[in-house]
Amino acid sequence: MENPFGTGAIESKKDKRTISHSDLVSISEPLTIGGKDCIPSDILMQSKVGICTAISLIQDRQRANSKKYSPEFQYLLQKKFYDNNWIEGSSILSALKVAKNYGLLPAELWTYTTDADRELPYNQYIAKLQAVPDTDINQLITQCVDKIAGYAQIDVSDPQAIAKAIIDSEAGILCRYGCQKNWWTSITGIPSWQPVDIDPLRYAPETSGHAIGMYAFNYSSGATMQKLCNTWSSAWDIQGTANINWSTYPPTEAWVILKSNPMFKFTQTMKFGSRGNEVKELQKRLNMPTILNTGFFGTITKKYVMNYQKAHNLIPDGVVGKNTRDSLNL
């Protein structure tokens, strides 16, 4: 059978506010085995539409606390507020930003589509989400719960960094892979989901991106084997999970949801003549040259602030007031 399940994870945009998980932890000795089991009942079915970023995040959160949330509302907010388009697919970073800034909608409060609608062609599926009135969206946002505290990007070039992030996580980490038919065909090209044909997953040149959870690792045999939990069905591979060898098939990016928020929050109004640690953090956030990170708000800092304000549709007055602080703190 051909794979009926959509992929749709575009590469996350670079964001200067993103924290590296390696900056938060140190690895004192090599990790060899760890993680939390993923069982068939954990797996949510994304079906034909490419909402893997939203549904993988929801699957992670449900595994973490056993609550039920709406993937549809998660995806709707990603497209409306962060992607600013309605084409199929999103990024893991957009999913994380929604979960951090808005929270998650309890599943029983979403009544605009059903799970069966994920079997529709994408244009019909997304039309149903676009039809939800803004007044209803705003009301649903007020009912969201369980905001994540923060998130950090993982160094995918280091299997120990990946292992440490899995250990630090509540239910695993979120990864993006280049995905092709090797995930659902045997080495001879025969369509199959059977482990004997596809496990461990074989490297696929990137023709489509797919977001997926990684929940465990086992480096004890010398191979850098990691375990994935998919959103395609518990009938895929080993009850919805798969083995993958980092040394031949690393993710293109990976993220961990944090239990606390390490990101610096701006609280003061800053303008020409201001001094202090907040100004220095502002200069770092604006990606000013290190030599200019002095903690003094001068002419050059004002220029950088105005450029930031223009890029984010803010009044370019060069003053870091409430609206500019709110934007920097997102």
User: Which of these three, 258, 287, 307, is where a domain ends?
Assistant: 258
* C-alpha to C-alpha distance for 128 and 149, rounded to whole angstroms: 30
pLDDT at residue 22, as a whole number = 82
**Alpha-carbon Rg of the chain, whole angstroms?**
21
Q: Same structural domain for residues 99 and 153? A: yes
Q: Same structural domain for residues 311 and 250? A: no
Q: Same structural domain for residues 198 and 251? A: yes
288 neighbors 304 (Cβ within 8 angstroms): yes
Asked whether residue 210 is domain-assigned, the answer is yes
Instruction: Quickly list H helices, the chain.
Output: 52-65, 71-77, 92-101, 122-130, 134-141, 159-168, 195-198, 277-285, 299-311, 322-329
pLDDT at residue 25, as a whole number = 75
Q: Same structural domain for residues 213 and 323? A: no
Q: Same structural domain for residues 188 and 291? A: no
Q: Same structural domain for residues 305 and 188? A: no
Q: Same structural domain for residues 186 and 285? A: no
* Cα-to-chain-centroid distance, residue 323: 25
Asked whether residue 284 is domain-assigned, the answer is yes
Task: Write out the residue range of the structural domain in which residue 161 sits.
Answer: 19-258
Asked whether residue 209 is domain-assigned, the answer is yes
Q: Same structural domain for residues 95 and 238? A: yes
Asked whether residue 234 is domain-assigned, the answer is yes
Asked whether residue 5 is domain-assigned, the answer is no
Asked whether residue 267 is domain-assigned, the answer is no
Q: Same structural domain for residues 245 and 166? A: yes
Asked whether residue 11 is domain-assigned, the answer is no
Asked whether residue 263 is domain-assigned, the answer is no
pLDDT at residue 3, as a whole number = 52
Q: Same structural domain for residues 215 and 325? A: no
Token pair 């945009």 is found at 13
* C-alpha to C-alpha distance for 144 and 11, rounded to whole angstroms: 26
Domain count, the chain: 2
Q: Same structural domain for residues 161 and 225? A: yes
User: Which of these three, 223, 258, 293, is where a domain ends?
Assistant: 258
User: Which of these three, 258, 290, 306, is where a domain ends?
Assistant: 258
pTM: 0.80
Token pair 């929270």 is found at 103
CATH code, 113: 3.90.70.10
Per-residue pLDDT of the chain (330 residues; tens, 9 = 90+): 445 556 789 999 887 667 788 877 777 778 999 999 999 999 999 999 999 999 999 999 999 999 999 999 999 999 999 999 999 999 999 999 999 999 999 999 999 999 999 999 999 999 999 999 999 999 999 999 999 999 999 999 999 999 999 999 999 999 999 988 899 999 999 999 999 999 999 997 767 899 999 999 999 988 999 999 999 999 999 999 999 999 999 999 999 999 877 667 888 999 999 998 899 989 988 988 888 989 999 999 999 999 999 999 999 999 999 999 988 887
Work out the end-to-end distance of the chain between its first and last CA atoms, rounded to an integer number of angstroms: 43
Q: Same structural domain for residues 253 and 283? A: no
At residue 320, the 3 state secondary structure works out as: strand
* C-alpha to C-alpha distance for 19 and 32, rounded to whole angstroms: 25
- In sequence order, the 6+-apart residues with CB closer than 8 A to the CB of 48 are 4, 5, 6, 118, 119, 120, 121, 122
330 neighbors 97 (Cβ within 8 angstroms): yes
pLDDT at residue 5, as a whole number = 59
